[in-house]
Structure 1
Amino acid sequence: MHSALLVAPPYLDPDWILGPDDRPGEHFPRFVHRERLPLRTIVVASRTDPWATYEQSATYASDWGAELVDAGDAGHLDTAAGYGPWPAGERLLADLLGRDPRVR
């Protein structure tokens, strides 16, 4: 069974161009896949993520045919923001995999 848990995907503006503060030679995607994904997908989005508004994340989820999980006022969900063990994420992953989240 294939599935995807996408946590805090950044919004990529289709009109974005490399700016003076961006590292030269770095490769950035020029587009985001905007069609339904052929697998069960969950998108987790924060209401205060600096890399994507909740509405942008909701649009991605809709385009991808994904379930949208509202993480609330969580900022950007990554280790740099201080996130470590994440029981709610483990439960989402267990759900995607069809497992009992209480069993490891």
Structure 2
Amino acid sequence: MRIEEHPILEKIEKGNLVSFELDGKQMEGYEGEPIAVALRAAGVMTHRHTSKYNKPRGIFCAIGRCTDCVMVVDGKPNVRTCVTPLKEGMKVQTQYGVSAKK
């Protein structure tokens, strides 16, 4: 299931099919679509875990306002994947907490 339209980014234009990594596993998505869209289309619903209770979090607001979808992207923590465009070769990691690297 792929999100076709975003409340902030509007209609999502599909670019070329590209590959990226999620926790070392090869994945595919369309260049330019939000990382969270590619993950959801692949069935990935958990983007981070809370530090206090280790509870899973994923897409919540989908407009970049909350921190539920933050992940480590290319070594940078706290990237809001719901509004960050996917690029070829990105390395995405599940994040633990809201400010620490994995």
Same fold (TM over 0.5): no
Q: Output the TM-score relative to the length of structure 2.
A: 0.26
Q: Output the TM-score relative to the length of structure 1.
A: 0.25
Name the structure where strand makes up a greater proportion of residues. Answer: 2
Greater C-alpha radius of gyration? 1
Name the structure where helix makes up a greater proportion of residues. Answer: 1
